[in-house]
């Protein structure tokens, strides 16, 4: 499966989790309290991290791709960072960057 990935900076993690959970129609797939949240929907991999000074800014985009080996990133002609990774690699990176994530079960 391949999902488009969008990562945003937010000013208030809890308020953003509540808002985006309503917008996406589901609770986050993973949350690191006070730092980070990520949703995996059927089509989208959406993450937010607490960076008040950059709230509302796009951090990067890319693809979660089951066929990806490891993690790569590149910068496009407009200076936008693109990432390409598997779900397992993203999970490892969440743990190494933010610490233990509470994971939700998908029904």
- Domains of the chain, with CATH numbers? 2-101 (3.10.180.10)
> pLDDT class for 96, splitting at 50, 70, 90?
confident
Is residue 83 within 8 A of residue 38, CB to CB? The reply is no
CA 35/CA 30 separation, integer angstroms? 11
Q: Percent of the chain beyond pLDDT 90?
A: 78
Is residue 27 within 8 A of residue 104, CB to CB? The reply is yes
Q: What is the model's pLDDT at position 105?
A: 54
User: Which residue bears the tokens 């917008």?
Assistant: 23
> pLDDT class for 107, splitting at 50, 70, 90?
very low
* CA 9 remoteness from chain centre: 10
């Amino acid at each position: 499966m391949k999902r488009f990935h969008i990562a945003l900076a937010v000013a208030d993690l809890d308020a953003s989790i509540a808002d985006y959970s309503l917008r996406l129609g589901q609770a986050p797939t993973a949350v690191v309290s006070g730092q980070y949240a990520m949703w995996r929907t059927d089509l989208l991999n959406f993450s937010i991290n607490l960076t008040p000074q950059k709230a509302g800014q796009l951090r990067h985009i890319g693809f979660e791709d089951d066929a990806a080996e490891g993690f790569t990133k590149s910068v496009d002609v407009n200076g936008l960072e693109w990432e390409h990774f598997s779900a397992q690699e993203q999970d490892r990176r969440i743990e190494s960057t933010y610490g233990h994530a509470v994971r939700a079960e998908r029904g």
